[in-house]
A and B are shown apart, each in its own frame.
Chain A
Amino acid sequence: MQEVIRTGFPLEQKESLTARPDLVLGNQTHETITEKISSVVEGGTPMAWYVVTGITAALTGMLFTMLGYLVWNGIASWGNNVPVGWGWDITNFVWWIGIGHAGTLISAILFLFRQKWRTSINRAAEAMTLFAVMCAAIYPGFHVGRFWMSPWLFPVPFPHGVWQNFRSPLMWDVFAVSTYGTVSLLFWYVGLIPDLATIRDRAKGALAKTLYGIFSLGWRGSTRHWQHYEVAYLILAGVSTPLVLSVHSIVSFDFATSILPGWHTTIFPPYFVAGAVFSGFAMVMNLMLIARYVLGLQAYITPVHLDNMNKIMLVTGNIVGFAYLTEFFIAWYSGNPYEGFTFFNRAFGPYAWAYWTMMTCNVISPQLFWFKAIRRNIPAMFIISIIINIGMWFERFVIIATSLHRDFLTSSWGYFRPTLVDILTFTGTLGLFLTMFLLFCRFVPVIAVAEVKAVLAHQKHREHGEHSEHAVYTPHEGEAMAHK
């Protein structure tokens, strides 16, 4: 009561202001959570899984066929050629990397902000990050032309004795993307260890016992271990937060440090990061809606989770829309004729169709999320998320193709058209991404079991009131580290 008097809030009012919706629905216990989420991994594989995975694996096979064809025939199999030297490959690279960003945002930034609703979606979102980075890394790896020489990107002593040029933003990109992939993998795996131990302890078959036993590293829930574990997890979240902001900033440097009108803008880093989060949340939404329905996880991924994700899409969509307008304003306000021409050409030139597709998908469609009815309407959000993903793909395409295709010399103007190899390669990466995600859903707990249990424990404490005797020993998580 002392605290209440000091802050001047009556207790009831204060509680209603900070009232939080339940994040785990139904009358659940720790055991039912374990049971439900483990059963996804343990139950027999449904026929539909084989069918869908068969299709996506075939697409993955097509990806590798196309890449083999590309290596055999050379980069000219793709449509990029002077003046558009970066075509679908870099478009797809930026698109995939951007999609990954939502996973890190959910797992790291929302963790630091103590957003407990992240626990139901962070595992799948982080997995999605890993798979998106895998798909992304294919493109620059093959765009170097001689794929088998892509290890030369890394500063390792090679017999030829030539070292990298660290003054190039493309070199920074190598470091940013490889660090991002590695740290995302570590973060995901560390979060997974206690849950793999849960599956290990329930496993029946010898193979499952052995494999989950090895990958859970002998975890036994010791408090002495949890103590170090939580420090490591917090630090990983702490470094992943600036990391995720840096990765798309550095990707945008690939463009922004050039002197090409349309690319040479200081707005790129924040604008790219917002766009990345925007498209990433749309992809998380698409995957989670399907997983939620197919795996029956409605009690864990509640309308509250979906609503929150839609709000983030609305915010980041508006940031992106604002950036589009700012670019145009600066193109006019700078008085630079080349800049002005590039942007006029972008909106009204040969690629106007792509530009207005982007505007419609990215700026207009998320405005529907102002309405709560739509934020909670599952078919609507599914369709809007797909539209956003399409729009964000077009954003990267517009930035790359429209800035390149009309050079300073009218004699070298051109128009980019993708080849069949371009299209099939891109479809193939979608197949790879979905195959990995399906394997993940089948063999790994899709929801962070240990974290959801902690949220449930917290929720139960709240229901019983925090003033009970044991409340002394359940301080806010932040304090757990601070004590001596």
Chain B
Amino acid sequence: MADWLTFPGAFERLAKLRAAEPKTWGVLAAFESEEGIMNAARRVHQAGYTKFDAHTPYPVHGLERAMGLKRSFLPRIIICGTVLGFITAVALQYWVGVIKQPVVIGNKPLFAIPYAVPVMFELSVLLTSFAAVFGMLALNGLPRLYHPLFNSARFKSATDDTFFISIEARDPLFNQDRAVAFLKELGGQDVEIIES
């Protein structure tokens, strides 16, 4: 219908592709309590899975350790933002005051650190915040408006009161039947297979 917007027949081809190979994205299991998910995450990690995740309505502290996650890389990105902001502020004020527009105003020096401090501080804070927010989004792969997990109706309660473990099919250890059995053994409820 709106073919002029995309490539001719793109939607039909996409639909055909998707109908041709329904691929398993992974398996999903629900847990009722914090303790349940903590234990399950630890066991899944110990079993050697790497492409798995725990979904919680609020950050459950210690869960990242139970999952064996490495420390976040984000602080390193953030410090780059801070330094960049600081350098920008010094360069901007020096360049404007001394090089581009050397005008003496009120007999003040063309460049001096005391007057440059407020802008140095503000730009450092600004770029720190940008690095923190956009770095966080980039590391998380967000925004990502479609995700196979959103196909699960049960998964909607991940932002309400239920804790989930998902194991992805691209994990080298993944075997659908074994993964399902394993999650059930750990106390997972409503274990389901998610298609991509």
Q: Indicate, yes or no, whether A interacts with B.
A: yes
| B115, A223: Cβ atoms closer than 8 Å | no
* A64 CB, nearest partner CB in chain B, Å: 29
Contact-residue size bin, chain A (C-beta under 8 Å from the other chain): 35 or more
| A220-246 vs B, Cβ < 8 Å mask (1 yes, 0 no) | 111111111111100110010011001
B4 within 8 A of A: no
On chain B, the residues within 8 Å of A263 by CB distance are none
| A220, B105: Cβ atoms closer than 8 Å | no
On chain A, the residues within 8 Å of B66 by CB distance are 473
The residue in A221, A225, A484 that gathers the most chain B C-beta atoms within 10 A of its C-beta is: A221
Q: Tell whether A229 pairs with B59 under 8 Å between CB atoms, given A166-B97, A167-B108, A223-B69.
A: yes
B140's contact among A228, A239, A472, by CB below 8 Å, is which? Answer: A228
* A31 CB, nearest partner CB in chain B, Å: 4
A219 within 8 A of B: yes
| A246, B118: Cβ atoms closer than 8 Å | yes
A162 within 8 A of B: yes
CA distance A31 to B162 in the complex (A): 9
| A223, B143: Cβ atoms closer than 8 Å | no
* B166 CB, nearest partner CB in chain A, Å: 9
Question: Which B residue sits closest to A168, measured CB to CB?
Answer: B105
On chain B, the residues within 8 Å of A213 by CB distance are 145
On chain B, the residues within 8 Å of A164 by CB distance are 96
Q: Tell whether A480 pairs with B64 under 8 Å between CB atoms, given A30-B161, A167-B105, A457-B58.
A: yes
| B144, A190: Cβ atoms closer than 8 Å | no
A330 within 8 A of B: no
Which residues of B, 1-58, contact A by the 8 Å Cβ criterion? Answer: 34-35, 38-39, 41-42, 53-58
The residue in A197, A224, A250, A474 that gathers the most chain B C-beta atoms within 10 A of its C-beta is: A224
CA distance A198 to B159 in the complex (A): 5
| B119, A473: Cβ atoms closer than 8 Å | no
| A176, B159: Cβ atoms closer than 8 Å | no
CA distance A451 to B125 in the complex (A): 25
Question: Which A residue sits closest to B130, measured CB to CB?
Answer: A186
On chain A, the residues within 8 Å of B97 by CB distance are 166-167
| B71, A220: Cβ atoms closer than 8 Å | no
| A17-46 vs B, Cβ < 8 Å mask (1 yes, 0 no) | 000000000000111001000000000000
B183 within 8 A of A: no
CA distance A475 to B61 in the complex (A): 7
| A31, B160: Cβ atoms closer than 8 Å | yes
| A179, B160: Cβ atoms closer than 8 Å | no
On chain B, the residues within 8 Å of A179 by CB distance are 122-123, 125-126
CA distance A414 to B11 in the complex (A): 74
On chain A, the residues within 8 Å of B122 by CB distance are 172, 175-176, 179, 243, 246, 250
A325 within 8 A of B: no
B87 within 8 A of A: no
| B140, A225: Cβ atoms closer than 8 Å | yes
CA distance A470 to B163 in the complex (A): 16
CA distance A186 to B55 in the complex (A): 24
* A467 CB, nearest partner CB in chain B, Å: 14
A408 within 8 A of B: no
| A224, B119: Cβ atoms closer than 8 Å | no
Question: Which A residue sits closest to B145, measured CB to CB?
Answer: A218
A370 within 8 A of B: no
| B53, A222: Cβ atoms closer than 8 Å | yes
Q: Report B's interface with A, CB cutoff 8 A.
A: 34-35, 38-39, 41-42, 53-67, 69-72, 74-75, 78, 92-93, 96-97, 100-101, 103, 105-106, 108, 115-116, 118-119, 121-123, 125-126, 128-130, 132-133, 135-137, 139-140, 142-147, 149-150, 155-161, 164
* A to B CB contacts below 8 Å, 30 in the list: A29-B161, A30-B161, A31-B160, A34-B161, A166-B116, A175-B119, A220-B158, A221-B164, A222-B53, A222-B55, A223-B59, A224-B69, A228-B136, A229-B59, A229-B136, A231-B74, A235-B75, A242-B125, A250-B118, A450-B57, A450-B59, A453-B161, A454-B59, A472-B62, A473-B63, A474-B61, A474-B62, A476-B61, A480-B59, A483-B71
Q: Which 6 A-B pairs have the closest CB atoms?
A: A30-B161, A217-B143, A473-B62, A232-B136, A172-B118, A201-B156
Given pairs A217-B142, A221-B55, 18 additional interface contacts (CB within 8 A) = A165-B103, A166-B93, A166-B97, A172-B122, A176-B122, A186-B132, A194-B159, A217-B145, A221-B57, A222-B55, A223-B60, A239-B132, A242-B125, A453-B57, A457-B34, A480-B59, A480-B61, A484-B70
